[in-house]
Chain A
Amino acid sequence: MKLSKSPWILHYDGSSCNGCDIEVLATMMPHYDVERFGVINTGNPKHADILLLTGSINSQTAPVVRQLYRQMPDPKVVVACGICACDGGIFKDCYNVSGGADQVIPVDIYVPGCAVRPEALIEGVKKAVALLDEKRRQEKIAMQQGYCTVDYGRLSVHTTEEDYEEESREASEQPPVPEDEQTDPQEAKEETS
């Protein structure tokens, strides 16, 4: 038995034109019926394994996406659905759009398309569940070796020794932030990373 037998999905619309949302819902509908693979649309981050993000991220939705990601229990996978969620799409140059979903949280699978086709979406979810198993395996090994911690500041799970080394190397490379610019430590961290 594997975790990938029962991927529960959380769907969030960053700021899309709704085209991708309709395609996501169409994938859940009888014609494509992803419940064949055990997929359930949960609507609750604490039960979800896969976060489906549609649309680009703007300054209003960024904190929401970040919070949803934090509330999901590990192991978890993020799938960016549609070109807007991948890199901002046609909204890229808008003054309020900060780009794709990877600007705020770590994205694992990119599914491009405008709007994303259900077939592509199923392929993306298939890759996501494979990654879910892989992440669980890594976590197990890390737990046996004694280090598996969650860094909520960077929204990442440290499972290997390299993760820690990378972290400390990046920290040493960071230029010191002047006192007056250090208003929000959360934002400061994102800008540098």
Chain B
Amino acid sequence: MAVSIIIRVILYVLLAPVIGGLLEGLDRVISARMQGRQGPPIVQPFYDVYKLLNKQTIVVNSIQVLFIMAYLIFTVFTGALFFGGGDMLLVFFSLSMSEVMLVLAAYSVNGPYSAMGAQRELLQMMCYEPMMLLLAIGFYVAQGSFMVNDLIGATRPAVIALPGMFIGFAFVLIIKLRKSPFDLSTSHHAHQEMVKGLTTDISGRDMGLVELAEWYDTTLMMGIIGMFFVTANPVSYLFAILACAVVFFLITLVDNTHPRVKAMHMFGITWLVVLVCAGTNLLILNLIK
């Protein structure tokens, strides 16, 4: 048991950047095709991070480096907890911790755009955190355990009991993956009113580390999407991968078809979707039990 956990964690730590990087590259290619362009090669994100790691790093405040390292470490730790079969609640708490580290890194430089980005990131966290907690509770009510190890050994996929949770989580994933219309704090596109916000004053090697952490994060999020479909039956993993692909494509589509919304607008929409979808789901689940 312990050996299999260690193997899974090591596999995650080694493979997650590759999967995350390829997913980002895929996202850029699909976006380009949607806009009628050829787009960059699929391995472009790896070129970008290689370049960033080789550039001069301008450090505004030396504590920034510590926070960015902490952001990366906490993100990897979160993913390791999840893929190692740990506690769902702990996964989400440690995920918040990693986000807080990035926010602190942005606040520590004391620049106007970084501060704006950090404030907006906190707002975004307020939007998706309730969904994360509801999801952990939902998994517990549906399958009777917080442990990922027990959840993947279920007899029927969680999505049957938690369809509303699935919609709610896919919705807040737009925020988590920093996609338009909810890419308020930092964006991948240069046509927004504030482009880089959170990462304005992060450059060179530090920026490379932030990108790396985002790849780990993307892989983790896809893993959680997969959790809805995984059962003890090995065929279910195929469905999980299929679901990840569909959700990822839909998020890219939304990214390309929707302009950025205002912060309060985002707040309203997300909480409404989360309360209606996930809240109702949880309520009904409790009544049935």
Contacts and interface: CB of A to CB of B under 8 A. Distances in A.
A44 B200 CA distance: 7
A134 interface: no
13 contacts: A1-B46, A6-B47, A6-B48, A8-B48, A30-B35, A35-B37, A38-B41, A43-B196, A44-B196, A47-B196, A73-B55, A73-B57, A73-B58
| Max count, chain A CB within 10 A of own CB: residue among B35, B46, B199, B203 | B203
B210 to A, nearest CB: 11
A71 B41 CA distance: 29
B73 to A, nearest CB: 23
A73 B51 contact: no
B44 A42 contact: no
A49 B204 CA distance: 10
A5 interface: yes
Given A1-B46, A44-B200, A73-B203, 15 more contacts: A5-B44, A8-B48, A30-B37, A33-B32, A33-B38, A33-B39, A36-B39, A37-B40, A38-B44, A42-B196, A46-B58, A47-B203, A49-B55, A73-B57, A74-B56
B217 interface: no
B234 interface: no
B257 interface: no
A61 interface: no
B69 interface: no
A41 interface: yes
Interface string A39-82: 01111101101000000000000000000000101110000000
Interface in A157-174: none
B47 A1 contact: yes
A136 B37 contact: no
A155 to B, nearest CB: 14
B116 to A, nearest CB: 13
Contacts of A188: none
B32 A6 contact: no
A3 interface: yes
Nearest to A3: B51
A138 B259 CA distance: 43
A49 B39 contact: no
A136 B44 contact: no
B47 A74 contact: no
Contacts of B200: 44, 46
**Would you list the 8 A-B pairs with minimal beta carbon distance, nearest first?**
A5-B47, A73-B56, A46-B203, A74-B56, A6-B47, A43-B195, A41-B190, A33-B37
B201 interface: yes
**Main DSSP-derived SS at the B contact region:** loop
B228 to A, nearest CB: 34
B190 A6 contact: no
B50 interface: yes
B55 A36 contact: no
A43 B203 contact: no
Contact of A42 (B28, B55, B195): B195
Contacts of A75: 55-56
A42 B203 contact: no
A41 B54 CA distance: 19
Nearest to A48: B203
A30 B36 contact: yes
A75 B52 CA distance: 11
Contacts of B57: 73
B1 to A, nearest CB: 40
A10 to B, nearest CB: 10
B207 interface: yes
B202 interface: yes
B202 to A, nearest CB: 7
| Max count, chain B CB within 10 A of own CB: residue among A30, A33, A41, A46 | A46
Contacts of B201: 46
B50 to A, nearest CB: 5
